[in-house]
């Protein structure tokens, strides 16, 4: 089949590309390389910004894609608060352009990278998809708005979509050829691994008085290749006449920041020096996915169940990479 992967030069997108190639599909990547840099020579790579509708139309008219995997986005939560316009333009307008261009050229199947940030600070420990969407960051509001657009268009037109709400993507491909590398890196695991690589042992924890087992925030980590597999399983839903779906993708288990640090110490065999800092605004204490819906509908569950295994795939990549 012919697939378009937007943001295919980034962390999750590059894993998606590798997986699709392993199944012998024909892949085109659209990426503006604002943060991504992985380019696989077996794909048709096109440097393009989704904000540029004319260029997008030109490119879309050339190939009839069976489906589009839409990973391209800016995703630094703090930055989104400081630069809401930049985020709206890139994430919401860029996605609107993509959808409009798809509709123009009769490409009707889209898988969208949404996020647990749509839930904001949830009321329940485990979050179901029907939980109220109350994002507390501009980034989360971007994701919520795009999900709403997809629902609206799906009801009016023959346009099918699945919004996958990822919790924390983590780990790297077993080959250690691709892995997580955001610039700047704000994600806990790669941030610490980067420091260790540079022989720095100081680690900051923001807040230790949350109502959790050890006072630090709890998050749900899911291996990047498990996320990718869920996308592939999702494709079968496009056989339905109507398809406007959303699913959580998580492990269903939560780990505190301290537990992750201990796991990293174990995997890297490096003792870290923890420094506690003040809580950050907008950090919900606990975010854990309830994954019953995706298990029931797509028969998906994570293969990586052990957090130390996830951490060791990440460490293997970090050790080898040139970042």
From the CB of 209, what's the least distance to ligand NAD, in Å?
A: 25
From the CB of 69, what's the least distance to ligand NAD, in Å?
A: 10
From the CB of 255, what's the least distance to ligand NAD, in Å?
A: 14
Q: Which residues sit at the interface with ligand NAD, rule CB under 6 A?
A: 7, 9-13, 30-36, 49-51, 71-75, 90, 94, 113, 115, 166, 168-169, 182
Residue that the structure tokens 């042992």 belong to: 201
In terms of CB distance, is 19 or 270 closer to ligand NAD?
19
In terms of CB distance, is 3 or 71 closer to ligand NAD?
71
What per-residue string of b and e applies to 226-264 under the rule 16 or more CB within 10 Å gives b?
bbbbbbbebbebbeeeebbbbbbbbbbbbbbbbbbbbbb
Known catalytic residue: 139? Answer: yes
- Residue tagged active-site, from 87, 119, 139, 255: 139
In terms of CB distance, is 88 or 105 closer to ligand NAD?
88
In terms of CB distance, is 10 or 263 closer to ligand NAD?
10
From the CB of 75, what's the least distance to ligand NAD, in Å?
A: 4
Catalytic positions, written as ranges: 139
């Amino acid at each position: 089949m012919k697939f378009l992967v937007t943001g295919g030069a980034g962390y999750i997108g590059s894993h998606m590309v590798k997986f699709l190639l392993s199944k012998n599909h024909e892949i085109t990547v659209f990426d503006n390389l604002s943060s991504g840099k992985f380019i696989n020579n077996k794909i048709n790579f096109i440097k393009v910004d989704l904000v540029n509708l004319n260029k997008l139309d030109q490119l879309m008219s050339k190939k009839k894609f069976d489906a589009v995997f839409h990973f391209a986005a800016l995703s630094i939560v703090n930055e989104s608060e400081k630069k809401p316009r930049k985020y709206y333009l890139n994430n919401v307008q860029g996605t609107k352009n993509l959808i409009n261009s798809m509709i123009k050229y009769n490409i009707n199947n889209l898988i969208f990278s949404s996020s647990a940030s749509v839930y904001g600070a949830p009321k329940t420990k485990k979050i179901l998809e029907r939980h109220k969407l109350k994002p507390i960051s501009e980034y989360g509001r971007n994701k919520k708005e795009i999900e709403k657009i997809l629902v609206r268009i799906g009801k009016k037109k023959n346009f099918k979509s699945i919004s996958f709400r990822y919790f924390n993507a983590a780990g790297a491909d077993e080959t250690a050829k691709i892995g997580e590398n955001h610039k700047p890196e704000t994600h806990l695991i790669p941030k610490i691994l980067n420091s260790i690589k540079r022989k720095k042992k100081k680690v900051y924890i923001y807040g230790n008085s949350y109502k959790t087992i050890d006072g630090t925030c709890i998050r749900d980590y899911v291996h990047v290749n498990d996320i990718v597999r869920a996308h592939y399983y999702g494709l079968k839903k496009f056989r339905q006449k109507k398809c406007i779906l959303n699913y959580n993708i998580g492990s269903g288990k939560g780990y505190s920041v301290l537990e992750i640090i201990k796991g990293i110490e174990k995997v890297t065999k490096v003792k870290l020096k923890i420094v506690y800092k003040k809580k950050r605004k907008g950090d919900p204490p606990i975010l854990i996915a309830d994954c019953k819906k995706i298990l029931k509908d797509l028969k998906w569950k994570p293969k990586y169940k052990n957090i130390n295994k996830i951490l060791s795939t990440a460490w293997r990549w970090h050790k080898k990479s040139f970042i």
